[in-house]
Homo-oligomer: A and B are copies of this chain.
Amino acid sequence: MVLRARLNLPRDLFPANPWAIETKTFFHGYVQESETIFALANGYLGLRASHEEDHPVVEPGTYLNGFHELRQIVYGESAYGFAKTGQTMLNCPDGKILKTFVDGEPFDIANRETPVYRRYLDLRRGLQRREVLWLTPNGKRVRIESQRLVSLMRRHLACIQLELTLEDADADIVFSSELRHRLEFVEDGDVEDPRLGAIPRSAVLQPMGRSAHDARSILSYRTTQSGLMMACGMDHLIDTPAEVAVDANQDDDVGQVTFRLRARQGEPGRITKFLAYHYNDVRPAADLRSQVGWTLDDARGTGFAALAAEQADATANFWAHADVVVEADAATQQVVRWNLFQLLQASACIDGHGIGARGLTGRTYEGHYFWDTEIFVLPFLIYTNPRLARAVLKFRHDKLDRARIRAQELGHRGALFPWRTINGDEASAYYAAGTAQYHINADIMYAMRKYVDVTGDVAFLEECGAEMLVETARLWVDLGYYNPRRGGQFCITGVTGPDEYTAIVNNNYFTNIMARENLTYAAATLRALRAENDRVYASIVRATGLQDDEIDAWEKAARLMYLPFDEDRGVHSQDDTFMDKKVWDFENTPDDNYPLMLYYHPLNIYRHQVLKQADTLLAMFLLGHEFSVDEKRRNFDYYDPLTTHDSSLSVCIQSIMANEVGYTDKALEYFQFAATMDLSDVGGNVRHGAHVASIGGAWLALIYGFGGLRDYAGNISFEPRVPDAWDGLTFHITVRNNRLRIRATPAETTYTLLDGNGLTFDHWGSPVTLSAETSTAVLANRGATV
């Protein structure tokens, strides 16, 4: 279908800048959007970008990855096996508050006269700055500059530094710094959107003790149902020639420290606020308060300048491994870098957790982890920071026992990973588009294979991966059956594929082919281990009760896997009955009725040929080596007009496939949608958080699409296709410790080995070898007009 060009954020809100998001005007209408776009996070701790003054503020989130509360899921009509307990990422006490009063007047961005206003997200240094010139009611000119960072090196730490300068008069200054557990806050009115989930409107944290001394205040809490302990604290340094009176107050829900001084014209006063958050499911609250204290001690000792330098180093290291340069215009570059920066912020300190649908920038989908992580985000991590990719996969392995239990509840052998979760339990309250998406198992195994093949980390396979392969392969064999009506082929009934505008079908093409890949890889891996590594194989048999003949069964199911094909149209049918449905009446669907799910009953949507997102085409990307370009083009031609892209996970894949089948303009158009999903607010909901998976998808569109990277079974190849509209595309990836810079123009591609011992890959079908000696190769692109 024709994409509806809804750019809900004016493009000139943020002037083009390849290394920053900057705004010089305070827009009342975009407070909540800005809270997302300027948000800071490190994969463990996330702060939405509410102002220090705590006003104007809409969604002042402070999130800790995995810190969640449980809630009973209520059903109008329940049934056996429905997920019983929901999980919700909690909003933690807000330490971003640092109010400024001049001569008793509170500063407030929204209601004060500010001839200078500048807010700046520095993508190169990993911090946010704000500069304001305030004309106070009694006519004084006050300059307020603040900087904020969430440390990429110290996951529990965030810092704010605020510097105040009186330009033309002395004045009485008060800084009031707070750490506030918000008992309740108002959500915006968008409660009809099911994606927001059941976000609790009132606090669920129970106070568990506190401590304070000097300018430090530490609070601790326990969640009511999930049994998690959390402590948070703040400490301060103040640097001013004036005499400062410090006063501290504390109760169970608020820590407050005030600084009073008489500041003189031209003598800047600077206050630094250190914030620390720790949580755990076992430690006593007192221990956690101590840990918070140590984090604050270290930070005070280090000081803001050194922390900022550390942050700049960490960020520079990120760019060295992950930067992508689109040689087009600064606006595109800005979008690309902001996107990449979100991936950094969502993953840097991910250890022990997953990556939520909005990272740590919002609570849409209750902070749950989905398949998005593995299919859309993990490739980026594999190629830019394999250690983090491993951590994400390790998290899945940590939850394997929960997946085993879930499989049992559904009557299966093996393990079934949850469609959405924080703690490893299924939290989907609508099974037709949740639990029924069995493909989650294959998605995780697919991503794991990519990780192992690209990084060569076979040890992961031995420690964690093989066990997951056994249990997932087991599930597929149990789920499907050999259907005599399909010539004895292996059929999988009653599942939902990635496209959520069709539910509970037989033989979803994506599911079947991905299950086949899962089974094949499991069989090959376990056979190899059996042949070559007795010790590991024995440990897996102990852990899983694996029988030798099970491997045969996986191979048989894979060999006989049924893959629906529509003879009339010469394309793969999305499922057994997809082609039997009426095509959605796009012509008579008003533009305002998208996304369809907010305007039409599921029954109405399900009974039509209409896609929310790429489904068969996604399979053709993920397992692209199994299809000819002609096949891909035929399928693209059929499914593209039926796809609404109502999911943010769609246009990126469509862009890659368009590239591959030669639809260059379409590829570029789809890429632009994918890349600007958030900064142009294509989905109209960036205010609730950044679409981390879509951003991962935009990276895929650049690297796999225009860059033409392919890596099946770890065989790296490139077929760069840089559009004529771009001068070039430069990107960095790391393969088995070889860090590469690749610069492709429409005509040729330059491969440079930056670190590592060397590797061999294909360029448009011909092998290229780079080494320490020959670290650069320049090669013409096929079909390019040089």
Chain A interface (Cβ within 8 Å of chain B)?
A: 73-83, 86, 194, 197-198, 409-411, 428-432, 434-436, 481, 483, 485-486, 491, 493-495, 503-504, 506, 568, 576-577, 579-582, 597-604, 606-608
Listed by A's residue number, 16 A-B pairs whose Cβ atoms lie within 8 Å are: A73-B76, A74-B74, A75-B429, A77-B434, A79-B601, A81-B604, A410-B604, A411-B600, A436-B603, A485-B580, A493-B580, A494-B581, A494-B603, A494-B604, A504-B606, A506-B580
With A491-B580, A493-B607 in contact, is A597–B79 under 8 Å at CB? yes
A-B residue pairs, 9 tightest by C-beta: A76-B429, A494-B607, A81-B601, A77-B430, A73-B76, A493-B607, A74-B74, A481-B582, A411-B604
Determine which of B82, B485, B580, B602 lies in contact with A568 in the assembled complex, contact meaning CB atoms within 8 Å.
B485
Collect the chain B residues with CB atoms within 8 Å of residue A430's CB.
75-77, 79
Chain B min CB distance to A492 (Å): 9
Chain B min CB distance to A553 (Å): 16
Chain B min CB distance to A348 (Å): 31
Collect the chain B residues with CB atoms within 8 Å of residue A486's CB.
580
A427 nearest in chain B by CB position: B76
Q: Would you call B76 and A600 a contact (CB within 8 A)? A: no
Collect the chain B residues with CB atoms within 8 Å of residue A600's CB.
80-81, 411
Q: With A and B bound together, what is the CA distance between A577 and B75 in angstroms?
A: 28
Collect the chain B residues with CB atoms within 8 Å of residue A506's CB.
577, 580-581, 607
With A494-B606, A582-B481 in contact, is A597–B80 under 8 Å at CB? yes
Determine the main DSSP class of A at the interface with B: loop
Chain B min CB distance to A410 (Å): 5
Knowing that A79-B602, A481-B582 are A-B contacts, what are 5 other residue pairs whose CB atoms are under 8 Å apart, sorted by A's residue number? Answer: A76-B86, A76-B429, A410-B601, A411-B604, A495-B603
Collect the chain B residues with CB atoms within 8 Å of residue A579's CB.
485
Q: Would you call B602 and A431 a contact (CB within 8 A)? A: yes
Chain B min CB distance to A489 (Å): 11
Collect the chain B residues with CB atoms within 8 Å of residue A194's CB.
77-79
Residue picked from A79, A82, A197, A411, most chain B C-beta under 10 Å = A79
User: What is the oligomeric copy number?
Assistant: 2
Q: Would you call B429 and A77 a contact (CB within 8 A)? A: yes
Collect the chain B residues with CB atoms within 8 Å of residue A83's CB.
76
Q: With A and B bound together, what is the CA distance between A392 and B74 in angstroms?
A: 34
Collect the chain B residues with CB atoms within 8 Å of residue A434's CB.
77
A420 nearest in chain B by CB position: B77
Chain B min CB distance to A420 (Å): 10
A602 nearest in chain B by CB position: B79
Chain B min CB distance to A571 (Å): 14
Determine which of B436, B481, B581, B603 lies in contact with A435 in the assembled complex, contact meaning CB atoms within 8 Å.
B603
Chain B min CB distance to A173 (Å): 50
Collect the chain B residues with CB atoms within 8 Å of residue A432's CB.
432
Chain B min CB distance to A36 (Å): 23
Chain B min CB distance to A114 (Å): 42
Chain B min CB distance to A260 (Å): 50
Residue picked from A410, A568, A597, most chain B C-beta under 10 Å = A410
Residue picked from A485, A494, A576, most chain B C-beta under 10 Å = A494
Collect the chain B residues with CB atoms within 8 Å of residue A493's CB.
577, 580-582, 607-608
A566 nearest in chain B by CB position: B485
Q: With A and B bound together, what is the CA distance between A408 and B53 in angstroms?
A: 48
Chain B min CB distance to A647 (Å): 15
Chain B min CB distance to A46 (Å): 24
Chain B min CB distance to A409 (Å): 7
Q: With A and B bound together, what is the CA distance between A580 and B604 in angstroms?
A: 24
Q: Would you call A601 and B409 a contact (CB within 8 A)? A: yes
Chain B min CB distance to A416 (Å): 11
Chain B min CB distance to A178 (Å): 35
Q: Would you call A411 and B601 a contact (CB within 8 A)? A: yes
Collect the chain B residues with CB atoms within 8 Å of residue A77's CB.
194, 197, 428-430, 434
Chain B min CB distance to A426 (Å): 11
Collect the chain B residues with CB atoms within 8 Å of residue A607's CB.
493-495, 506
Collect the chain B residues with CB atoms within 8 Å of residue A481's CB.
582
With A493-B581, A568-B485 in contact, is A601–B504 under 8 Å at CB? no
A599 nearest in chain B by CB position: B80
Collect the chain B residues with CB atoms within 8 Å of residue A78's CB.
194
Chain B min CB distance to A454 (Å): 34
